Chains A and B, each alone.
Chain A
Amino acid sequence: MTVRELYDQCDLTLVAGEKGLDNIIEHGFVGDLLSVVMGRAQENTAWVTIQSHINIVAVATLINCACIIIAEDYEADADAISKANEENIPLLVSKQSSYEVVKQLIHLGIL
């Protein structure tokens, strides 16, 4: 599915990276330790995290994440937003916990 389809079907706020909405999501990953995400997440992943600073965009760009979903309604830093716009990485925010977001991803068929 695309990030746009995910965005349309879930209660998410898009805060940056609108140009990347047609990115394809093939996998999911949840993690807040950047090196673990870096080393373990596959390409075209919807990455769920509670980190909200600019380095998440650097990591997502390097490993070709489809999008980043910031859980727990954490507010993305301003420089993370501008970097995500620059790199076309959709930055979505959910009010729910990482666990609840992952449940929705699974429900939508991202296994």
Chain B
Amino acid sequence: MKLHYKVDGGAFTSAGFAAGQVKRTLRQLGISPEIIRKISIAMYEAEMNMVLHANGGNVDVELAKDYITVVLEDQGPGIEDIDRAMEVGYSTASQKVRSMGFGAGMGLPNMKRYADELTIDTKLGVGTRVELKVFI
């Protein structure tokens, strides 16, 4: 099964919509709560990053027999220092966003923690592609 979502940039209010939709679909399909939790958290973080940093993008979800992959692609600024971005607490988020409880520097660490596989391809000024995989 394949699902596609377009995520709006700057739309904090609808952020998490795609992750919520995927969660609902997986629940209807009878996927175990632990798997749903893993993919939901990883995907929410990636989706939020796209909204907060990259003016939105596209999300493609593939549900196969023994895995779920979520690919998030944006045409944002790219990640300058991926090693630092992976560090807990490191964030480039604005003060405004931080005051809303984002920008804790936990997004990428949470993705790494909850996805079984995390692949990030990023190029400055071109965009970022994040692939999350959770085995069922």
Interface residues, chain A, CB within 8 Å of chain B? 32-36, 38-39, 43, 49, 51, 53-56, 58-59, 61-64, 79
A32 to chain B, nearest CB (A): 5
In the bound complex, how far is the Cα of B11 from the Cα of A79, in angstroms? 13
Query: Is B15 among interface residues, defined by CB-CB distance under 8 A?
Result: yes
Q: List 15 A-B contacts (CB under 8 A).
A: A33-B102, A33-B106, A38-B45, A38-B110, A39-B109, A39-B110, A39-B113, A39-B114, A49-B101, A55-B13, A58-B17, A62-B19, A63-B41, A64-B33, A79-B13
**Interface bracket on B:** 20 to 34
Cβ-neighbour of B44 out of A38, A49, A54, A64 (below 8 A): A38
Q: Are B41 and A54 in touch, CB under 8 angstroms?
A: no
**Chain A residue at minimal CB-CB distance from B43:** A62
**Chain A residue at minimal CB-CB distance from B16:** A58
**Given contacts A51-B101, A58-B20, A62-B19, A39 and B106 within 8 Å (CB-CB):** yes
Most B CB atoms within 10 A — which of A36, A39, A56, A59?
A39
**Chain A residue at minimal CB-CB distance from B108:** A35
Cβ-neighbour of A55 out of B16, B33, B40, B109 (below 8 A): B16
In the bound complex, how far is the Cα of B44 from the Cα of A39, in angstroms? 11
**Given contacts A38-B45, A38-B110, A62 and B101 within 8 Å (CB-CB):** no
A74 to chain B, nearest CB (A): 12
Q: Are A62 and B104 in touch, CB under 8 angstroms?
A: no
Q: Are A59 and B44 in touch, CB under 8 angstroms?
A: yes
